[in-house]
Chain A
Amino acid sequence: MNNNNNEQERALKELMALDFKLYDLQLYLNTHPFDREILEKYMDLADEAEETRAEYEEKYGPLKAINAATNTEWTWIKNPWPWERMGE
Chain B
Amino acid sequence: MWDYDKKLQYPINIKNPNPQMAKFIISQYGGPDGELAASLRYLSQRFSMPTEITKATLNDIGTEELGHLEMVGTLVSQLTKGVSPEILKREGLGEYYTDHGISVYPQSAAGVPFTAAYIGVKGDPITDLYEDMAAEQKARSTYEYLIDLSDDPDVTDVLKFLRQREIVHFQRFGEALRGVQDKLAEKKFYMGNMPEGLLGAMNKNDKRDEDCISLGESDNDRKPGCGCNKRNNY
Residues of chain A having any CB pair with chain B under 8 Å = 9, 12-13, 15-16, 19-20, 23-24, 26-28, 30-33, 62-65, 76, 81-83, 85-87
Q: How many A-B residue pairs have CB under 8 A?
A: 73
* Contact B6–A62 (Cβ < 8 Å): yes
- Which of A13, A64, A83 has the largest number of chain B CB atoms within 10 A? A83
Chain B residues within an 8 Å CB radius of A28: 172
Given contacts A64-B3, A64-B4, contact A31 B53 (CB under 8 A): yes
* Contact B73–A85 (Cβ < 8 Å): no
Task: State the CA gap A63–B168 with chains docked (Å).
Answer: 27
B211 contacts the other chain (CB 8 A): no
Task: State the CA gap A65–B5 with chains docked (Å).
Answer: 8
Residues of chain B having any CB pair with chain A under 8 Å = 3-14, 52-53, 56-57, 60-61, 64, 70, 73-74, 77-78, 81, 168-169, 172, 175-176, 179
* Contact A82–B60 (Cβ < 8 Å): no
Q: Which of B4, B11, B73 contacts A65 (CB 8 A)?
A: B4
Given contacts A27-B57, A30-B53, contact A86 B7 (CB under 8 A): no
Q: Which of A24, A62, A82 contacts B168 (CB 8 A)?
A: A24
Look across to chain A and name the residue whose beta carbon is closest to the beta carbon of B73.
A83
Chain B residues within an 8 Å CB radius of A12: 7, 11
Task: State the CA gap A62–B4 with chains docked (Å).
Answer: 11
Task: State the CA gap A38–B53 with chains docked (Å).
Answer: 17
Task: State the CA gap A65–B3 with chains docked (Å).
Answer: 9
Given contacts A24-B168, A31-B175, A85-B13, contact A64 B64 (CB under 8 A): no
* Contact A16–B172 (Cβ < 8 Å): no
* Contact B60–A30 (Cβ < 8 Å): yes
* Contact A64–B5 (Cβ < 8 Å): yes
Chain B residues within an 8 Å CB radius of A33: 52-53
- A-B contacts, 22 of them at CB < 8 A, read A13-B11, A16-B9, A19-B7, A19-B9, A23-B60, A23-B64, A27-B64, A30-B56, A30-B172, A31-B172, A31-B176, A33-B52, A33-B53, A62-B6, A64-B5, A64-B6, A65-B4, A83-B12, A83-B74, A83-B77, A83-B78, A86-B11
